[in-house]
Amino acid sequence: MADSNRDNASGVRRLGFGVSGPHGSPLVRPEATVAMIMQAFALGVRVFDTAPAYGNGEAERRLGEALARLPPYEPIVSTKVGLKTSGLMKRAQEFDPESVRKSIEGSLQRLRRSRVDWLFLHGPPPEALTDALLKTLVDLKFKGDIGEIGICARDHALDAALTTGQFSLFMTPVHIGLEPHELTRLERLRAAGELIGIETLAPAKRRFPAPVSAGATWQLARSLLGRGGPVPPTPMTVEEALNWALNEGGAHRAIMTTSRLDHLETNVYAVSNPVSGRLISG
């Protein structure tokens, strides 16, 4: 599946850092999240993805604190709209134009930015992609509040997004455990824009990890609530899983998160030196 003609990044630049999960919770101290972002930037990571749904805006606030200390034009800042949550259990979808505009205003304030480089619809159902919503997104882009328009979803919402012709970024699971029709969909997404892989380390994760770090604790909590995601039948090492996503899986980039600096450094090294590197998750 992999075709390097559309790749606009290589090595560590194909790795994005997700300010999500434990980084929007009390499991990780705010200053530790900021230090993680700063270190990721120092190691060459340039894409930082978050969402207001992560900790009810807390993850965005932490990313904004770090961005205030970084060169203003180098990081690619990515956030989302449409999903609200106040914890692991409570979620609500708001994809009407007014809610989307208010969400962007709040995100810009928390991120301390005048513009979001990438804006994703966060898990919309296909029927949410109305003409009114698409017009709102185009208006926000024309106004300069957002750069590229994307969708973070799976299944038929991605097909609906493709038919509109308005999306240039597609964030979706990319791992060896996907069904054949899902792998075929990845090819279509890659041909239409930039394919950004999430859940790329799923083949290397355990369903119920030992809570030895904040990240593992967060994963364990999600698994106990039934939100751990599918576990692909083919077990892989973390290095094999990530490199499969970036090569055979065709992802232009992969978003990862961790709560430990040593794991971050090891993973970045593994992407830059895939032969000798050993990736670590959690």
Is 187 inside any structural domain? yes
Is 152 inside any structural domain? yes
Share of the chain above pLDDT 90, in %: 64
- For the chain, the three-class secondary structure string (H helix, E strand, C coil) is CCCHHHCCCCHHHHEEEECCHHHHCCCCCHHHHHHHHHHHHHCCCCEEECCCCCCCCHHHHHHHHHHCCCCCCCCEEEEEECEEECCCCCEEECCCHHHHHHHHHHHHHHHCCCCEEEEEEECCCHHHCCHHHHHHHHHHHHHCCEEEEEEECCCHHHHHHHHHCCCCEEEEECCCCCCHHHHHHHHHHHHHCEEEEECCCHHHCCCCCCCCCHHHHHHHHHHHCCCCCCCCCCCCCHHHHHHHHHCCCCCCEEEECCCCHHHHHHHHHHHHCCCCCCCCCC
Number of structural domains, the chain?
1
Q: Does the pLDDT of residue 104 top 70, yes or no?
A: yes
Q: Does the pLDDT of residue 3 top 50, yes or no?
A: no
Is 138 inside any structural domain? yes
- pTM, 2 dp: 0.86
**Which range has the worst mean pLDDT, 7-11, 219-223, 233-237?**
219-223
Q: Does the pLDDT of residue 282 top 90, yes or no?
A: no
Q: Does the pLDDT of residue 57 top 90, yes or no?
A: yes
Which pLDDT score, from 0 to 100, does residue 71 have?
Answer: 92
Which pLDDT score, from 0 to 100, does residue 227 have?
Answer: 53
Which pLDDT score, from 0 to 100, does residue 269 have?
Answer: 76
Which pLDDT score, from 0 to 100, does residue 55 have?
Answer: 92
Is 281 inside any structural domain? no
pLDDT interval class at 249 (50, 70, 90): very high
Q: Provide the domain limits for residue 247.
A: 4-272
CATH code of the domain in which 117 resides = 3.20.20.100
Which pLDDT score, from 0 to 100, does residue 224 have?
Answer: 43
**What's the mean pLDDT in 216-244?**
63
pLDDT interval class at 92 (50, 70, 90): confident
Is 23 inside any structural domain? yes
**What's the mean pLDDT in 200-217?**
62
Residue type, 63: L
Is 278 inside any structural domain? no
Q: For the segment 184-196, what is each residue's pLDDT rounded down to a tens digit?
A: 999 999 999 999 9
Residues 6+ apart with CB under 8 A from 182: 154, 173
Q: For the segment 134-178, what is each residue's pLDDT rounded down to a tens digit?
A: 999 999 999 999 999 999 999 999 999 999 999 999 999 999 999
Residues 6+ apart with CB under 8 A from 221: 88
Residue 108 near residue 81 (C-beta atoms within 8 A): no
Q: For 17, phi and psi rounded to 5 degrees? A: -105, 125
Mean pLDDT of the chain: 85
State how far the Cα of 250 lies from the Cα of 214, in Å rounded to an integer. Answer: 30
Is 280 inside any structural domain? no
More confident call, 119 vs 216: 119
Which pLDDT score, from 0 to 100, does residue 236 have?
Answer: 82
Q: Does the pLDDT of residue 6 top 80, yes or no?
A: no
**What's the mean pLDDT in 208-224?**
51
Kindly state the tokens that stand for 177: 């455990």
Q: Is 13 left (phi over 0), alpha (psi -120 to 50) or beta?
A: alpha
